[in-house]
Amino acid sequence: MTSPLNHLPSAKEVGTYDPATLASNFSDLHPPLTHRQAMIESQRCLYCFDAPCVEACPSEIDIPSFIRQISENNINGAAETILEANILGGSCARVCPTEILCERSCVRNHDAECQPVLIGLLQRHATDNMQFDGHPFKRAATTGRHIAVVGAGPAGLSCAHRLAMLGHQVTLFEAEQKPGGLNEYGIARYKMTDDFARKEVEFLLEIGGIDIQYGQRLGDNLELAALHQQYDSVFLGLGLGTSRALGLTGDEAPGLMPAVDYIKTLRQTDDLGSLAVAKRCIVIGAGNTAIDMATQMARLGASEVTLVYRRGVEAMSATDHEQEIAKANGVRMVTWAQPDDILLDSQGRVAGMRFAKTREQAGQLTATGDTFEIAADAIFKAIGQGFEGASLRDATAAELARDGERIQVDDMLRTSLPNVYAGGDCVKPGQDLTVQAVQHGKLAAHAIHQALVAKQEAA
């Protein structure tokens, strides 16, 4: 398949960065704590009995307990406390927005130093330095039940692991050729280095009882009807598979592509210098994907990177921390502007974009009537992901109740179909966070288990 950026030079050809600089630019964004730093930081924790940080953690990790275990140099104990609640605790320590969750709730924010305990870095310290002789969790006695899990992203992996712990056999169906979902394909490279996503999945699979089948896409070569008939229960962790369109003429022009597609390529390449780089690029969006895209293009050697959002900074879904990362990398942010027209050169390729200035009036976003243009060699869309409707096109899947485009579930992650559960980004409730997807998978696994046990007892 031809890339929309084939006409652009590579990072090597741009000549801004040499290989050593590129490697440095994509090294760990937040280097791990040393043993001494972790010990000192862990002793800042007040080990609150009714800890507000736990209340703020979507996966309900017992944060005071694992930090106390670190302070006692019990790293394995700390890791087990984390992983018991969140089996993907290592990746969540790297990508979770702790600054707006647990760390924002830390009581140290109100102390004299006004500095929260560095919970995310301490969680990473524990999970990076654990040394178990085998997998820390053991499978329960085999139940004889077999569950299908669709999607080997954070929600599906979490569900599969917990079901395996409870003694069930699990088959994971994954559309891609690697497991991990967004952790493997969608996170900025500098946030998760050293092939960590793969290593974490390998660790998770050590529980046993989980088989993964790759190249299996629901709505293509996999049907919910067959899964519903062949397995005792089904969990759908489908994620959001399509990028929303701008709805402008030229949306398919060379030089315009979804940010997630470029990030996926960047994540999988062994040679950063071979990547196409736009010397001048525009990123449209206001979330973490937009920030990741803009920052990585700057680190690859782009001379001008402009992130454009239709509302004000205060409405951006990317956290202040993420915004500061982009600014530190020279990304220019333009707000109160929405795409109006894609500008093309004589060969039909992207040459820039015209934007309409916006304002908020009576709670509604409206155009002011003024426009301006930004020249660019490439435009990256990061305006949100949509649910891939084709995945639910077989007759059984079509019966699933929807909440808008997403799958409707109850508090136990049950869908409208019996024995079919769903979680992660493909369902409405939640914050579209990795840690929330992990929690959905875990809760769904327990709901599936309880339903199967109840069915067995009734028989």
**Whether residue 325 sits in one domain with residue 248:** yes
**Whether residue 363 sits in one domain with residue 296:** yes
Q: Is residue 52 part of a domain?
A: yes
Could you give the 3-state DSSP secondary structure of residue 125? helix
* Whether residue 82 has pLDDT greater than 80: yes
In this structure, the number of other CB atoms found within 10 A of the CB of residue 9 comes to 15
Q: Is residue 19 part of a domain?
A: no
* Whether residue 1 has pLDDT greater than 60: no
Going by pLDDT thresholds of 50, 70 and 90, the confidence category of residue 385 is confident
Q: Is residue 318 part of a domain?
A: yes
Which helix (H) or strand (E) is 392 found in, with range?
A: none
Q: State pLDDT tens for residues 196-242.
A: 999 999 999 999 999 999 999 999 999 999 999 999 999 999 988 88
Q: Of all residues in the chain, what percent carry a pLDDT higher than 70? A: 98
Query: What's the mean pLDDT in 305-333?
Result: 95
d(CA 31, CA 271): 22
* CATH number of the domain bearing residue 45: 1.10.1060.10
The number of CA neighbours under 13 Å toward the Cβ of 459 is 6
Q: Is residue 150 part of a domain?
A: yes
Give the structural domain span for 125.
35-129
Q: Is residue 316 part of a domain?
A: yes
User: What pLDDT, on a 0 to 100 scale, did the predictor assign at position 251?
Assistant: 85
CB 278, CB 8: distance < 8 Å: yes
Q: State pLDDT tens for residues 139-149.
A: 999 999 999 99
* CATH number of the domain bearing residue 421: 3.50.50.60
**Whether residue 248 sits in one domain with residue 363:** yes
**Whether residue 299 sits in one domain with residue 343:** yes
Query: What's the mean pLDDT in 179-206?
Result: 95
**Whether residue 367 sits in one domain with residue 257:** yes
**Whether residue 356 sits in one domain with residue 269:** yes
Q: State pLDDT tens for residues 110-140.
A: 867 789 999 999 999 999 999 999 999 999 9
| Average of per-residue pLDDT values in the chain | 93
The strands making up 169-174's β-sheet, listed across from edge to edge, are 210-214, 169-174, 146-150, 233-236, 420-422
**Whether residue 247 sits in one domain with residue 196:** no
Number of domains in the chain: 3
